[in-house]
Amino acid sequence: MTATKGLNLYSRNQQLADSKLLEQYSSLVRRIAYHLLARLPSSVQRDDLLQSGSMGLIEASRNFDAEKGASFETFASIRIRGAMLDEVRRQDWVPRSVHRNNRRVSDAVRSVESRTGREAQDHEIAAEMGVSLEEYNQFLADTSGSRLFSFDELSSQENSAFELPDKNGAEPFAEVQESRFQESLANAISALPEREQMVLSLYYNEELNLKEIGAILSVSESRISQILSQAAARLRGRLADWKNV
């Protein structure tokens, strides 16, 4: 068999394996895609998420190491979701003004809490920014309506309030710092106001939508959206010491 024929045979076998893999785990890709779509603006297309998720699945199959203990479905789910989030970030539909105001809110939260030694209130954050309470609430609405907030995003380099070493890079202390960051994140979450902790838990752990959470807390969907955005801003502000560590 010539090298060319061998390469063609390998390519056909790989394509067949990929096709079987996509068929076997198509429901997993779709489930993750629809879960994310419920949290994203209508401008994000389902097919784009499904396509990027499928590529993530194939990548997962080629990098999976059964000896590390995790099941393939668990490993694949993480990579599929990561590939979808990468696609969302790549599209970056968010206006620069929203990024800018998002950073301003986080900076204001940090300033108020550093000065007072307690949780920053809405009106204090607005005053620190030099805007009205209505404008501040609009900043929160713009953020929640145009950007996906996830715990993954908190440690993303792009548009982040802080930076972490590349876990895949040569930095010898990268894994240690990543572990310490995760510990700091957990501590920051546990120090959030009780209502913000509850909304985060219901949204991310229980996977309830805004309407369902609003019904539980007897507030509107828009108020739940604001609480999520404010929790994100508070976490970014409190974790800002990780910038350029």
3-class DSSP assignment, residue 207? coil
Q: Is residue 231 located within the same domain as residue 124?
A: yes
Cβ 162 vs Cβ 245: under 8 Å = yes
Domain final position from 91, 109, 144 = 91
14-19's contacts with Cβ under 8 Å and 24+ in sequence apart are 17/61, 18/58, 18/61
> What is the structure's pLDDT at 169?
47
Q: Is residue 112 located within the same domain as residue 179?
A: yes
Does the predicted TM-score (pTM) go above 0.85?
A: no
As given in the structure block, the two tokens for residue 28 are 């997993």
d(CA 54, CA 22): 7
> What is the structure's pLDDT at 215?
92
d(CA 23, CA 143): 36
> What is the structure's pLDDT at 61?
85
Q: Is residue 41 located within the same domain as residue 148?
A: no
Q: Is residue 41 located within the same domain as residue 109?
A: no
Q: Is residue 113 located within the same domain as residue 212?
A: yes
Cβ burial 116-142 (10 Å sphere, 16+ → b, else e): eeeebeeebbbebbebeeeebbebbeb
How many domains are there within the chain? 2
As given in the structure block, the two tokens for residue 82 are 């990561």
In this structure, what CATH number is given to the domain that contains residue 137?
A: 1.20.140
> What is the structure's pLDDT at 127?
93
Q: Is residue 119 located within the same domain as residue 224?
A: yes
In this structure, what CATH number is given to the domain that contains residue 32?
A: 1.10.1740.10
d(CA 238, CA 188): 7
Q: Is residue 203 located within the same domain as residue 114?
A: yes
Q: Is residue 13 located within the same domain as residue 130?
A: no
From first to last of the 245 residues of the chain, give the pLDDT tens digit: 554 555 454 456 566 677 888 888 889 899 888 888 876 666 778 898 999 999 988 888 888 777 766 678 878 887 888 888 888 777 765 667 777 888 888 889 889 988 999 888 989 999 999 999 988 888 887 766 544 444 444 444 344 333 334 444 445 555 556 667 667 777 888 888 899 999 888 877 677 878 889 999 999 988 888 888 888 888 888 887 664 43
Cβ 31 vs Cβ 80: under 8 Å = no
> What is the structure's pLDDT at 187?
82
Domain final position from 40, 73, 91 = 91
Give residue 15's domain range.
Answer: 3-91
d(CA 186, CA 133): 29
Q: Is residue 58 located within the same domain as residue 156?
A: no
Q: Is residue 172 located within the same domain as residue 83?
A: no
Q: Is residue 62 located within the same domain as residue 103?
A: no
Q: Is residue 60 located within the same domain as residue 130?
A: no
